[in-house]
Structure 1
Amino acid sequence: MPTQVVQVQPSTNAFSSFIQFWEDVKAIAGPYWYPTKSGERAFSDVIRAWGMLILLIILIIALVAITTFNTFIYRYLIDVIIQEKDYSKFTYNISIYAVGLVSITLLVGFTKFVRKQIAVDWHQWLNNHILNKYLNNRAYYKINFKADIDNPDQRLSQEIEPITSSALSFSATLLEKILEMITFLIVVWTISQQIAVALLIYTIIGNLIAAYLNQGLIKINQAELESKADYAYALTHIRNHAESIAFFQGEKQELNIIKRRFINLIKDIKQKIDWERSKEIFNRGYRAAIEFITLIVLAPLYIKGEIDFGQVGQAIAACYAFAGALEELIREFGTSGRFSSYVERLSEFSDALEAVTKQPENVSTIKTIEENHLAFENVTLQRPNYEQVIVEDLSLNVQPGEGLLIIGPSGRGKSSLLRAIAGLWNAGTGRLVRPPLKEVLFLPQRPYIILGTLREQLLYPNTNRQMTDAELKDVLQQVNLQNLLSRVEGFDTEVPWENILSLGEQQRLAFARLLVTHPNFTILDEATSALDLTNEGSLYQQLQNTKTTFISVGHRESLFNYHQWVLELAQDSSWQLVSVQDYRLQKAKEIVINTSENPEITIDNSSQDKSQNESEISTTKRLSHKEMNELTYYSVSTIRSKASKGEPITTRDGLTYRYDKDSKVLKWVRV
């Protein structure tokens, strides 16, 4: 019983794999050859594609017909030379034979040209079709959350063209070689039925063996494609993170990773080489056997005088052509393994793109309303997989021209709220009111630097906007990038900007886009994290002058100076919305309460200044440098400097502190 299961299971798997393969082919080829959706393809384009395909079929039929006809001319030519020895007949037959050879040559060239032209047209359409899916409804963003879809860039750039070229090559070769085998089999049948029957049986056996061998190649090709993609991605990853790797001096570790992936690629290549060795041995042996059998059967017939020499030559030529056609057909079946791997991966990718853009059923989503203001109405935001609540029952309304600062612990969903505004995440409940996205400009912490000129960088995403060089220079001046033009040849220069601009310069370049675009709403996700306070202050001041409504995410205390409201997210998904003034007072009170749990009364009896001693009796609150930083506009380094110099500090609420250098105290004490 176990033996029977082992025998039956592969057959079932092979059949189901074959069915799935054809389903994938129909999914990819159907929209091009049999468009069913309205507007999917222009009718004239479909007619042109079918016209080219019909022309290809006619050319193939003509090629096989003339090739077969030439075998008869060759047969008559041999008889004329050896038996009749008639020069005039020889001249006539050789002329016809030459015309046939020229015709075959031209037909071969035109057949390949038409086949490749169809493949190019199909490739162009299929590439645009998949690209539209990739860039539609932000599928390019959502696909990153599917762990089973690897290397989408390689699937787009390297795995579409082989599908169309392989499909046309395989189909054309299949039609041509089957026609050749049928016609040559008929030719041989007219000469020797024994050889014809042997060729037919031999063909069936050979194709069954080739199909069996091809099953292993499909898996080998699939593994090779994946290992090539992984290796290419590792090299791209190093290019994209070159500076980080250089800072960490991680070259050795990166080299080990690349070598590990390259070793996997070499293993797959060697496995394929072993398979191809077996295939070549089979192909050559298969063809040699046909030629050997033909001679064994025909030689006695000629010796007995049952057939003439021309028939022997024609039969040998026909069998030789039959064997060549069969060998090429088997070779195409072998390369079809790679074709099926490409088809499987592209079909999987196309299905995934459609899946990520479909709205999940039976799940709650945040309803989005487009109006000319920004508000959250009882919004509970969850992660896209609905496994975690980020913020619960959030309600707020950002007034026109005001600024809202979102703060909270790391990982508590500050950036997630921005994704909800952008429509990237909508898992949850409630209502989100926002302006149309074309009126909103997003400035992320890591600015997006496009592949283009400096002019395109500044005008992005509206690169069709018309601005003079003088206007663009003025914008660069406003964001303190006036020296950038001295490093490039002009606004129409295209260089690798991410390599020549620091992160701070990239953030200022992103702010320049804001000054060019003048959006009604601006979203900033730690957009000034790489800037010093002077540049940050200058940019936010210009942002306020534009009268735009803006929301910022950040940790810097300096950001409070440019916003009217603070949204604080807590670890338990709760939140609070307060004005900046109230938030500062709230935090100041918390610090005072925390430092007053054990109040002490101290009296300074310094003999050097009695009048000062009498006035300096007070309830002392001892604060650390960090606590002073939260009560003032000073950085921690500045506070340390003032402590070492003995300089007092006045907090935002008007209280004055001095640093007690007593080794038992070493705290800031209120005067």
Structure 2
Amino acid sequence: MKQGTRQFWKDFFALLMPFWRSKEKWPAIGLLVVIIACTLGAVFLSVQFSFWYNRFYQALQDYNQPAFWREIAIFSGLATVSVLRGVYAVYLGQWLRIRWRRWMTDHLLGEWLADRAYYRQQLTTGATDNPDQRISDDIQQFVDGTLTLSLSFLGNVVNLFSFAVILWGLAAPLTIPLFGGGGITIPHFMLWAAIVYAIVGTILTHLLGRPLIRLNFMQQKREADFRFGLVRFRENTEAIALYGGEASERQGLLRLFGGVMENFYQLMSRTKKLGFFTSAYGQASAVFPGILVAPQYFAKTIELGGVVQVIQAFGNVQDSLSWFVSAYSTLADYKATVDRLTGFRRSLEDAKAAARSGGIDMASDTRTNLAVETVQLALPDGQPLLEGHGLSVQPGDRLLLTGPSGAGKSTLFRALAGIWPFGKAKIRLPGNARVLFLPQRPYLPLGSLHTAVAYPAKPEEVPAETAAEALRAVDLSHLVPALEQEEYWARRLSPGEQQRLAIARAILTKPDWLFLDEATSALDEATEERMFALLRDRLPGTTWLTISHDPKVAAFHDRHWRIEKDGVAPARLVEAPEAAAA
């Protein structure tokens, strides 16, 4: 087995087996057993219908009216059972699918969110790999494809052996004459003809359809890239409108869609070639067994009912053997889905491995201060960014961090938050301390305004009146009537309103340590001073670490760290000798 094939099956079972070993396994196994029974029942009914067609057409040929009506009654019973089997096979299959999809979605979301892999993944892989599509679309396609293809394959295997037995008993031998007299006799010729016909079709289908795997993979990726471009446009409509960037955005979106079209044209061309062959193959299979059995019929060695049963049995054997031919497009799409999911999971593992192998040594202990013993931060490409050592922050300190743009201030905060894996550092954090980071651009989750104010806590954990009071404190009293209203608040609120809402979160959370990364940059001077005064009054025991370019903010801090940048050398983190005014 080739290395690539071995790796594919290893990755496939890594996706498949966790659900069947989980707490959900016994209900799922029960459903699967019933669904398999329905699948085998379909084969049993197909065999019964085969014999029924023999008897039915024989009754017509013999002008046997009582036998005709008896077969009609038998058909009614078989048809009723067939309908019930078909309906419950679909219903139970859907039930198993949604349970499996729910478990896989929860499991993959857990892997994505654990250890902040969703953030590190972007840093280590250079792209998000469209995680929204992996979690929403590909899980569904994987579950549907696994059940559909596996049950179809099982049904065809059982169907093959069932009708091969029938064809074995019905098919007469074929004698091929040789020069000089005599000949070669092939026993059970119809069965061997069906096998050879299917094998030739399978080989040709694989040769024609193999490129579909890569094309399906790329089509899903480019569709996701185009969709992400549209979502990004929607998220930034105001900025685009202010810039007047419609022409540039249109060009960029059409470029992304051009990638969709280019790959789709290749997909169309390859699908057309495969379609010509599979259609011709299917059409030929309708008359091929009739041509083979016709000499026996015209020689009157087989009756009409037997001819019909031979043709049906040949068709079933050939269809079962040609499963790969008929399912090739589905298999190509399914393999692309498995490749995307396994690639996504591998990128998560790489992100977590990079975090574990990094030199950022974070530890929490019984100490009450934050100590930066050594820090040597780097960019994802390994380029040194920031160095410093021997710095500490005591409880109750209000520390201001300043420095030139791009020197590593926000990256230092990310390292203190434990989400930056690049570089070497030894950082000691106070144990059991409540920590809150307020970035420059606050995150507003989907849902009500109450949900946005309470975040990261759940809205039910923050009483509505408490949330309303926090909004009033940050001069957002006009939003209180809409507290339980669900809107796209990230679009409705201005940047300044969003930053004040984040300050309200800090008031509600009452953290021991508060990190503010340009958290008031969108506010005017008077409002910014009110917000810092509010934090000072409402959170008297909270330790602050603030990044700001505004010199007036220094009035609310009593210590000052500065990042000094000199040419191409890494920036240096030092404590400024002067103390800010209290």
TM-score (norm 2): 0.90
Contact 2:129–2:344, Cα closer than 8 Å, also in 1: no
Aligned to 1:287: 282
Amino acid at match of 2:470: V
Q: Displacement, 1:579?
A: 5.7
Which of 181, 203, 211 is residue 206 of structure 2 equivalent to? 211
* Secondary structure in structure 1 of the residue aligned to 2:126: coil
Which of 14, 18, 23 is residue 5 of structure 2 equivalent to? 18
Amino acid at match of 2:529: G
Which one is further off, 501-510 or 111-120? 111-120
Amino acid at match of 2:143: T
Which of 96, 109, 114 is residue 74 of structure 2 equivalent to? 96
Q: Distance in 1 between matches of 2:350 and 2:490?
A: 33
State yes or no: 1:346 paired with 2:324.
no
Which of 422, 429, 432 is residue 434 of structure 1 equivalent to? 429
Which of 369, 384, 392 is residue 387 of structure 2 equivalent to? 392
Q: Displacement, 1:149?
A: 4.9
Contact 1:566–1:577, Cα closer than 8 Å, also in 2: yes
Q: Displacement, 1:79?
A: 1.5
Q: Distance in 1 between matches of 2:467 and 2:459?
A: 14
Q: Distance in 2 between matches of 1:272 and 1:385?
A: 36
State yes or no: 1:134 paired with 2:121.
no
Amino acid at match of 1:123: R
Amino acid at match of 1:562: F
Q: Displacement, 1:143?
A: 0.6
- Relative distance call for 1:511 and 1:452 in structure 2 (3 A) is same
Amino acid at match of 2:559: W
- Relative distance call for 1:371 and 1:459 in structure 2 (3 A) is farther
Q: Displacement, 1:354?
A: 2.0
Amino acid at match of 1:248: Y
TM-score (norm 1): 0.79
Q: How does 1:121-520 map to 2 (within 5 A)?
A: 121-145=99-123, 146-147=125-126, 149-192=128-171, 193-325=188-320, 329-358=324-353, 364-371=359-366, 373-383=368-378, 385=380, 387-435=382-430, 439-464=434-459, 466-485=461-480, 489-520=481-512
Q: Displacement, 1:75?
A: 0.7
Amino acid at match of 2:574: Q
* Secondary structure in structure 1 of the residue aligned to 2:444: coil
- Relative distance call for 1:450 and 1:291 in structure 2 (3 A) is closer
Aligned to 1:61: 40
Contact 1:374–1:397, Cα closer than 8 Å, also in 2: yes
Q: Distance in 2 between matches of 1:104 and 1:429?
A: 67
State yes or no: 1:78 paired with 2:65.
no
Contact 2:372–2:426, Cα closer than 8 Å, also in 1: yes
Deviations 1:4-37 (Å, cap 9, x if unpaired)?
xxxxxxxx9xx4443332222111102123x3xx
Contact 1:220–1:268, Cα closer than 8 Å, also in 2: yes
Deviations 1:33-81 (Å, cap 9, x if unpaired)?
3x3xxxxx22xx2222223222222221121112112211221122222
Deviations 1:111-166 (Å, cap 9, x if unpaired)?
23333332222211111111100000000110111125521222112211001101
Deviations 1:73-97 (Å, cap 9, x if unpaired)?
22112222222x3333333222122
Amino acid at match of 2:347: A
Aligned to 1:635: none
Q: Distance in 1 between matches of 2:259 and 2:381?
A: 37
Q: Distance in 1 between matches of 2:288 and 2:499?
A: 78
Q: Displacement, 1:476?
A: 2.0
State yes or no: 1:47 paired with 2:26.
yes
Which one is further off, 344-353 or 15-24? 15-24
Aligned to 2:175: none
Q: Distance in 2 between matches of 1:377 and 1:47?
A: 51
Contact 1:195–1:294, Cα closer than 8 Å, also in 2: yes
Which one is further off, 215-224 or 111-120? 111-120
Amino acid at match of 2:546: S
- Relative distance call for 1:49 and 1:480 in structure 2 (3 A) is same
Which one is further off, 449-458 or 322-331? 322-331
Q: Which structure: larger Rg?
A: 1
Aligned to 2:181: none
Aligned to 1:666: none
Contact 1:185–1:199, Cα closer than 8 Å, also in 2: no
Q: Distance in 1 between matches of 2:291 and 2:304?
A: 15
Amino acid at match of 1:517: T
Which one is further off, 363-372 or 105-114? 363-372
Q: Displacement, 1:401?
A: 2.1
Contact 1:451–1:496, Cα closer than 8 Å, also in 2: yes
Q: Distance in 2 between matches of 1:447 and 1:120?
A: 35
Contact 2:439–2:519, Cα closer than 8 Å, also in 1: yes
Aligned to 1:3: none
Deviations 1:264-322 (Å, cap 9, x if unpaired)?
21122222222222222222222232332322232221222211111012122333444
Q: Distance in 2 between matches of 1:202 and 1:166?
A: 27
Which one is further off, 109-118 or 193-202? 109-118
- Relative distance call for 1:234 and 1:421 in structure 2 (3 A) is same
Q: Displacement, 1:575?
A: 3.5
- Relative distance call for 1:323 and 1:429 in structure 2 (3 A) is closer
Contact 1:199–1:290, Cα closer than 8 Å, also in 2: no
Aligned to 1:575: 573
Contact 2:562–2:574, Cα closer than 8 Å, also in 1: yes
- Relative distance call for 1:344 and 1:152 in structure 2 (3 A) is same
Deviations 1:196-233 (Å, cap 9, x if unpaired)?
22111111111222222331110110111111111111
* Secondary structure in structure 1 of the residue aligned to 2:482: coil
Contact 1:391–1:574, Cα closer than 8 Å, also in 2: yes
Q: Displacement, 1:469?
A: 4.2
Q: Distance in 2 between matches of 1:227 and 1:186?
A: 48
Contact 2:297–2:303, Cα closer than 8 Å, also in 1: yes
Amino acid at match of 1:402: D
Q: Distance in 2 between matches of 1:536 and 1:308?
A: 97
State yes or no: 1:117 paired with 2:95.
yes
- Relative distance call for 1:199 and 1:467 in structure 2 (3 A) is closer
Deviations 1:352-410 (Å, cap 9, x if unpaired)?
21221236677533242244633224222312648244433422332322200001111
Higher relative contact order (CA 8 A, sep 6+): 2
- Relative distance call for 1:504 and 1:377 in structure 2 (3 A) is closer
Amino acid at match of 1:575: L
Aligned to 2:180: none
Q: Displacement, 1:467?
A: 4.7
Q: Displacement, 1:436?
A: 5.1
Q: Distance in 1 between matches of 2:106 and 2:357?
A: 33
* Secondary structure in structure 1 of the residue aligned to 2:196: helix
Aligned to 1:608: none
Aligned length: 558
Contact 2:377–2:425, Cα closer than 8 Å, also in 1: no
- Relative distance call for 1:248 and 1:436 in structure 2 (3 A) is farther
Contact 2:354–2:421, Cα closer than 8 Å, also in 1: no
Q: Distance in 2 between matches of 1:469 and 1:295?
A: 78
Q: Displacement, 1:430?
A: 5.0
* Secondary structure in structure 2 of the residue aligned to 1:519: coil
